[in-house]
A and B are shown apart, each in its own frame.
Chain A
């Protein structure tokens, strides 16, 4: 993950605008796994999820000129493209009812009843990490990062103040950072 610091936002944007294979290679190495993980949260099928990922990269590549730095990070922009592409794909297949997209209520219910939703996809590592969080944190991470719920929507869904939603996001990230650091240290040994 220290590779992320290789380029600043400005440098990454210049790289993308070169539109060459080297730029693509960096983009793919850096972001494909994370974007794929987000898509897999919506699309059950690995092959379909990979097709969506391909569409997402084509879209990112051809629409770099539309990226506006004053509205957010490049990764945030790509994340939005990936979420929307996954949901569009699901709708186009008429599979919305079968999807793994969970309403806030479902997540809250699962939380309260301590029932784990079935995860056919092999997301063991992620699952473990998110499960390692306290339940009230993992729900917020699920809703915000993977499902793209806004802080206001999460506030209404979970019935907690918007400020609390954000501080819990902060706590969740800090915990995850520690978990990753430990994992990394274990790997390095």
Chain B
């Protein structure tokens, strides 16, 4: 380094004034530490500056400032001789810090376990409750269905009772025509209203693919009165005949293929009764 040029550049003046960017301050400090002639120049510059700005101070100010320094140390409560004291405090504090931490960990673990157990319990309870709700819902549905059935049943009996009470209603009991097989069915017929009801509780359940069919014999000819529901046989139920019954001399029920036939299969006529 050409120290003479370096000095002439004025960078040392700026350095002592402290007006260079931080990185340049570091560079100059390093150079000054390395080159004695730079250090000497810096000391000279500093001395000039001290003289330049120096102003007279009142006597006794040094004592006042020293007192302020001492009181600032006292207010801080720490003197160099007392340095070990904070260390002792730190050691005393450590067990107190650790105990709560262990307790806290234990408490946290316990709380976590309790929380997990509670969650499982509540989850199971929730599961149980939803299962119970489903069961209750099913039972409600079942009861509603039963009520509906009962209502239908009651309605049927009520109609039957009305029907029976109707003096104009004629009861025709159809007897078996198959020897050795005692069977019976009943037709209730109101000629005035052209209405008829049929009950087949005395007939056996029809075999698969077969269905009972009601006929009216008018002037020797069988007239189709419709098929009877399969589940109606062998049950105490009564059904209104879907077609108007205006006249006829006799009623008959035959076993036909499912859906019915245009004309009755003569050998399959099970019951017959005259009006």
Interface residues of A (CB under 8 A from B): 1-2, 4-5, 19, 21, 24-25, 28, 30-38, 40-41, 50, 53-54, 57-58, 61-62, 69-73, 75-77, 79-80, 123, 126, 129-130, 141, 144-146, 148-152, 154, 163, 165-173, 176-177, 180
Contact = CB atoms under 8 A, between A and B. Distances in A.
Interface-central residue, B16, B17, B68, by most chain A CB under 10 Å: B17
Interface of B: 7-22, 25-26, 29-30, 42-58, 61-62, 64-66, 68-69, 72-73, 76, 80
17 contacts: A1-B47, A5-B43, A30-B50, A54-B61, A57-B65, A57-B68, A73-B16, A75-B46, A75-B49, A79-B18, A148-B18, A148-B19, A150-B20, A166-B13, A166-B14, A176-B52, A180-B48
B29 A70 contact: yes
Contact of A72 (B13, B15, B44, B51): B15
A163 B19 contact: no
Contacts of A126: 52-55
The 3 A-B pairs of least Cβ separation, nearest first, read: A166-B10, A170-B10, A37-B53
B15 A76 contact: yes
Contacts of A79: 17-18
B interface, by DSSP: helix, strand, loop or mixed?
Answer: helix
B47 A166 contact: no
Given A76-B15, A169-B14, 19 more contacts: A31-B50, A33-B53, A35-B53, A36-B55, A36-B57, A40-B55, A50-B57, A50-B61, A58-B68, A69-B29, A73-B18, A75-B50, A126-B55, A144-B14, A145-B52, A165-B14, A166-B11, A166-B13, A167-B10
B20 to A, nearest CB: 6
B18 A80 contact: yes
A19 B72 CA distance: 13
A144 B68 contact: no
B30 to A, nearest CB: 7
A163 B7 CA distance: 13
Contacts of A172: 13
Contact of B43 (A4, A35, A167): A4
A169 B48 CA distance: 12
A interface, by DSSP: helix, strand, loop or mixed?
Answer: helix
A34 B58 contact: no
Contacts of A57: 65, 68-69
Contact of B53 (A76, A146, A148, A165): A146
Nearest to A55: B68
A45 to B, nearest CB: 13
Contacts of A151: 14, 19-20
B8 A167 contact: yes
A32 B69 contact: no
Given A37-B54, A69-B29, A70-B30, A173 B69 contact: no
A163 B13 CA distance: 12
A19 B80 contact: yes
A30 to B, nearest CB: 8
Nearest to B58: A50
Contacts of B9: 163, 166-167, 170
Given A28-B62, A37-B54, A54 B68 contact: yes
Contacts of B46: 4, 73, 75
A139 B16 CA distance: 17
